[in-house]
Amino acid sequence: MKKYLLILPAAILLTGTVYFLAPGNNNSRKPDLIVKNTDAGNEVTKPNDDDCCKAITITEGGYTDMSVYLSNGKWADQNGNKADLGKFKNKNVVLAMFFASCQSACPVIVNDMKIIEKTIPENKINNYRFVLVSIDPERDTPRVLKNYARDHNLKSPNWTLLTGSKNDIMELAMMLGFKYSKNSSGGFTHTNLISFLNDKGEIIFQNDGLVVDMGSVSKTISKLN
Amino acid sequence: MKKLLNLKIFSIIILLSTATLISMVIIQGCEKNESMRGTEFAKLTYAPDVPSPIMRDHPTKVIVNLETKQVVGRLADGVEYPFWTFGGKVPGKFIRIKVGDLVEFHLHNSPTSTMPHNIDMHAVTGPGGGAPVSETLPGHSSVFSFRAERAGLFIYHCATQPVPLHIANGMYGLILVEPKDGLDPVDKEFYVMQSEFYTKDDYGTPGLQQFSMEKALAENPTYVVFNGSVGSLTNSNALQARVGDKIRMFVGNIGPNKISSFHIIGEIFDKVYDYGGKDVTQRNVQTVLIPAGGAVIVEFTVKVPGTYLLVDHSIFRAFNKGAIGMLKVSGEPNKEIFSGKQKDEIFTGSQAELNGGAIENDDSNVIVNNESTSEMNENDINSVIEKGKKVFSRTCIACHQANGKGLPGIFPPLEKSEFLNADKERAIGIVLNGKKGAVTVNGQIFNNVMPPQNLSDGEVAAVLTYVYHSFDNSKKVVKTNEVTKIRNK
Amino acid sequence: MKFFLTILITSFTLLANAQNHENAKASITKMVLIKGGYYKPLFKKNGQSEREFVNSFYIDIHAVTNEQFLRFVKANPDWSRSKVKKIFADGSYLKDWQSDFNPGENVNPSAPVTYVSWFAAKAYCSWAGKRLPTMAEWELVAMAGKNSPGPNKDKKFNERLIRWYSAGLPQRLNKVMSGEKNYWGAYDMFGLIREWTFDFNTTNINGTAICGGGSAGATDLTNYPAFLRYGFNSCLSANSDLGNLGFRCAKDTK
């Protein structure tokens, strides 16, 4: 009786072993299958990764091809001094465009930038500059900007508020991809954008909207000097 | 004692190993199918061809390349239209993938385009079906990825502003997501896409056409076609199959406005996957509805050779706007299923008609109801003519017509008939017995068959008298006893 | 001797000036005055009525040509194809020109210059003492018919526009002013190229992204040419360079 009890599991064991060892049924992976498209009219291209890491020409002034500082705009800061964006060369810049009489979105943006400021480690904070550029040159004179900085506790030299010509403002906005348009009431409709520029003035990260993506921000900060 | 212990241990080991083996087999079996591996470039095809069924049993990464292009092409014979296309033709290429596949989609916009294009695929579960992230300027390419979550047959189309115009100009196609176990094997698969075109000029007007906003808003298409042009599936472009082929058709309808009533004349759809879904939802169906922006999968087996017409059964579209295609099936006839024409016979109207509806069955041996002539007074010519007119209107009018002019070449006239006037007895004989063979009436030859008339003697007399007194004839009079004499001859 | 030298120097100077003047003159397109008026944007801005008022301004009667742009590039070599910075123009900048300072045979010098970015267009207009027109200004000029300042309600007009928009890129663009002149005296507002505006990126900022669809908030759902135009604008980046996109300049009245 006991003998027969053993035969059944033994048979299963045998079958199982044969099954496993049989060709095509073992665990090894099949080679990856790559089938080329032979359709003549179809342009087959590899995924495009040449937007990154292409050789860039360094121009005079140490700016690269993609530097925002190429814009040549003439600005004035909250202290009434002439300013050139190029003065931020060699610093990491966190930049947003705003207007002083903005009630809803801009205060959130400024606050977001302050939060970002707090996450920067002590030993690096001096390498950073926080820049707010006004899109309302008619009303946001340097004096208005100075008051704004005081009211919101935005201290120099870390914080700079800028005003400029309509042309220069639009050019900077275009470089950043920031959209704004004047309302009939004198206010502005605009997108919400915080841009991170490296020490060459290149945009390396942008936070779109009013909510800060802290994960990406931390990653960006860790990449900067 | 030792031997027994050894045996016990041995048996436990065997049992455990077996259990392990069995579970490994089961796990491996599941894993084998579920894990994604490999990369493929998708093979896309132009209508009416379909890429071959997917043979792999696991999901994979599929790279799809599609180019948008503005191309002037043929809409109908002599008629051109400025199409906007996926892949240079209308409809766009057929994409075939499997559920679970990760698709890396490359949308290229030709540098010769004058506006941006994008793609919304109904197979994509994500905002806009991929449209916002695939918006592409001329001379640029966009890449985005999605996983095919659901099996089925789905439409894709351009969704750039203004969306209706991009669709109306030809930017659409089909994407098939095969289910896990694939589709049953068939002999032929075809890709058919119905769509409308709205042109300023009427159907068939030659030359380069332009889009008509007015007609599009009124939902009044000029052209309703299969696969982008009139005649794309007819005559030398017809779909081909052999007797016995199991056929599957992937049929889409993009609109942009109309719903399609898809039917194949002479066939029944054995299986219908309504709306292009995963399951067979109907069997043995004649006509399926395809919503605008929707699709259907139909399967059927052709058993008899011949030409089968694909139509939108909103039938004016098929005959007057181009919604017609052909499936030509070759092979051995099958007389049992379909015999073809067996006979051609003459038919001159049913007997019930001739008898004024008084008798309901068609039995020509039934004696006629005499009521119509029972009140006839043979001495009063007017009453005879009146009665005769009544008989004429029930009986003779079908062939000889109310005006007695007959049908040229077919039925002889009674008007000014020399044939009639020349011989009264012959006329009586014809009404009683019918006439076969050629006769010349008023200079024309007629070679048809006039059946014997099922009338009483009185009725024959009356009707002939009426005829002789009408249609400019000789005004002869025919009496009942004259008819009786000839009948008894 | 002194006298002779003076004459020589004077005439040289005069000639040089004249040459410059010629150059400058040729670069400066004739402009026409557009009287202030109302136009109806396709997408209503927040807090705005359906019609927007545009102040009077001057606009070029035709788009900037290859010839004119060549003068600009020669005077400002930083804007030549091999030197232009990637942030200001993408890889297709002046793609159809034979070389940096030579448009070549395939391009009609009197045809509008295309494959130029917004930055390049803006730089040109500044150099010429002008500026880019705003979208509102451009639309105000464009909505005029042949005989009135518009809006042009002619259905046939919309049909012709769709017909033009439907065609692909022609092999060679026609020269400027070969098309129609409208009420204001401006040529080729349609039928030749699309044109950059100063604030092209401001259509429907907070509404549905219309680069790719979405018509919520549109003021005229049957104006397909406007949808095509606004949709096109919404998809552009300031450094985009396309074969059917050029520009003309504007100027304030004061």
The pair of structure tokens assigned to B37 is: 């591996």
Q: Give every strand in the sheet of C250-252, ordered side by side.
A: C31-34, C57-60, C250-252
Tell if the CB–CB gap between A45 and B106 is shorter than 8 Å.
Answer: yes
A 10 A CB-CB count for B476 gives: 14
Long-range contacts of the stretch A63-66 (C-beta < 8 A, 24+):
A63/A89, A63/A200, A63/A201, A64/A200, A64/A201, A64/A202, A65/C85, A65/C86, A65/C87, A66/A202, A66/A203, A66/C85, A66/C86, A66/C87
Contact A37 B14 (CB under 8 A): no
Domain A68-223 CATH superfamily: Glutaredoxin (3.40.30.10)
> Is the predicted pLDDT of residue A40 greater than 70, yes or no?
no
- Residue B1, classified by CB atoms within 10 Å of its CB into exposed (0-12), middle (13-18) or buried (19+), is exposed
What pLDDT, on a 0 to 100 scale, did the predictor assign at position C125?
95
Could C169 and B115 be called an inter-chain contact, meaning their C-beta atoms sit closer than 8 Å? Answer: no
- Check C85 against A65: CB less than 8 A apart: yes
For A153, the token pair is: 């506790």
Integer Cα distance of B462 and B371 in angstroms:
13
Q: Describe the crossing of helices C155-166 and C224-235 by its angle, rounded to 10 degrees.
A: 40
Out of A167, A171, A179, closest to residue C202 by CB: A179
CB contact under 8 A, B161 and C214: yes
Which chains does chain C touch, 3 or more C-beta pairs < 8 A?
A, B
What pLDDT was estimated at residue B258? 97
Q: Give dist(CA B113, CA C244) in Å, integer.
A: 9
Per-residue pLDDT at B130 exceeds 70:
yes
Alpha-carbon torsion (B263, B267, B268, B270), positive or negative: negative
The rounded distance, in Å, linking the Cα atoms of B346 and A11 is: 80
User: φ, ψ for residue A4 (rounded to 5)?
Assistant: -65, -30
pLDDT at B29 over 60: no
* Contacts for B101 with CB less than 8 Å, ≥ 6 apart: B36, B59, B60, B61, B62, B147, B148, B177
pLDDT the model gives residue B84: 96
**Dihedral angle computed from the Cα positions of residues B85, B87, B93 and B99, in that order, rounded to the nearest 10 degrees:** -100
Supply B304's token pair. Answer: 């008899």
**pLDDT tens-digit readout, B389-409:** 999 988 888 888 889 998 888
Confidence of residue B12 (pLDDT cuts 50, 70, 90): confident
Calculate the CA dihedral of residues B41, B44, B49, B52 and round it to 10 degrees: 20
Whether residue A38 is predicted with pLDDT greater than 90 in this model: the reply is: no
Q: Do B210 and C215 touch (CB under 8 A)?
A: no
pLDDT at A182: 86
pLDDT the model gives residue B380: 86
Map residue B59 onto helix, strand or coil.
Answer: coil
| Mean residue pLDDT across chain B | 89
Q: Which of B15, B37, B143 faces A32 most closely, judged by CB atoms?
A: B37
Q: How far apart are CA B64 and CA C22, in angstroms?
A: 55
Gap between the Cα atoms of A78 and A58, Å rounded: 31
Confidence tier at B35 by pLDDT (50, 70, 90) = confident
Higher-confidence residue of B296 and A61: namely: B296
**Confidence at residue A172, expressed as pLDDT on a 0 to 100 scale:** 96
Specify the range with the lowest mean pLDDT, choosing from A12-26, B115-129, C167-181: A12-26
| Residue at token pair 């004058």 | B114
Average pLDDT over residues B49-73: 95
Segment B329-355 shows an average pLDDT of 79
Do the chains contact at C211 and B214, CB–CB below 8 Å? no
* Confidence band of A62 (pLDDT split at 50, 70, 90): low
Who among A68, A171, A189 is closest to C205 (CB)?
A189
The least confident of A6-20, A23-37, B47-61, B243-257 is A23-37
Domain C32-252, CATH? 3.90.1580.10
Mean pLDDT throughout A63-72? 86
Q: How confident is the model at residue A24 (pLDDT cuts 50, 70, 90)?
A: very low
- CATH code given to domain B40-330: 2.60.40.420
Residues 81-140 of chain C with CB under 8 A from chain B are 92
Q: Where are the domains of chain B?
A: 40-330, 351-487
| Residue B49 in tokens | 């061809």
Give the residue, C154 or A60, on which the prediction is more confident.
C154
Q: What is the pLDDT of residue B464?
A: 94
Give the mean model confidence (pLDDT) for residues B405-431.
90
Query: How confident is residue B85, by pLDDT bands cut at 50, 70 and 90?
Result: very high
The model's confidence at residue B283, banded by pLDDT at 50, 70 and 90, is very high
Q: Which residues does chain A have within 8 Å of residue B67's beta carbon, measured at their own beta carbons?
A: 42-43
Domain B351-487: CATH superfamily, name plus number: Cytochrome c-like domain (1.10.760.10)
pLDDT in tens, A81-100: 999 898 898 899 999 999 99
Q: Check residue C146 and give its pLDDT.
A: 86
pTM: 0.71
Identify which of B28, B41, B67 has the shortest CB distance to residue A36.
B41
Q: What is the pLDDT of residue C235?
A: 86
Token representation of residue B198:
């709205």
Please state the rounded mean pLDDT for residues B416-427.
92
Q: Name the minimum distance, in Å, from the CA of A195 to any CA of chain B.
A: 21
**Cα–Cα dist B159/C227, whole Å:** 12
Cβ <8 Å between B213 and C235 = no
Residues of B in contact with C42 (CB under 8 A): none
Is B46 in contact with B87 (CB distance < 8 Å)?
A: yes
Q: What is the pLDDT of residues B355-365, one digit of tens each?
A: 454 444 444 44
C162 part of contact set with chain B, CB < 8 Å: yes
Please report the pLDDT score of residue B369 as a whole number.
Answer: 47
Domain ranges for chain C: 32-252
Enumerate the domain spans of chain A. Answer: 68-223
The answer to whether C24 and C72 are in contact (CB under 8 A) is no
Q: What is the pLDDT along chain C (254 residues), one digit of tens a residue?
A: 777 666 666 665 565 555 544 444 455 789 999 999 998 888 776 666 778 889 999 999 999 999 999 999 999 999 999 999 999 999 899 999 999 999 999 999 999 999 999 999 999 999 999 999 999 999 999 988 888 887 877 778 888 888 888 888 888 999 999 888 899 999 999 989 999 999 998 876 665 445 655 666 677 787 888 888 888 888 898 999 999 999 999 999 97
B144 pLDDT more than 90: yes
Tell which wins on pLDDT, B248 or B332.
B248
Contact residues, B window 1-20, toward A, CB-based 8 Å cutoff = 7, 10-11, 14-15, 17-18
Distance (Å, rounded) from C-alpha B255 to C-alpha B160?
17
Q: Residue C45: what pLDDT? A: 65
Average pLDDT of the residues in A155-175: 94
Taking Cα atoms as reference points, which of B384, B398, B412 lies closest to residue B356? B398
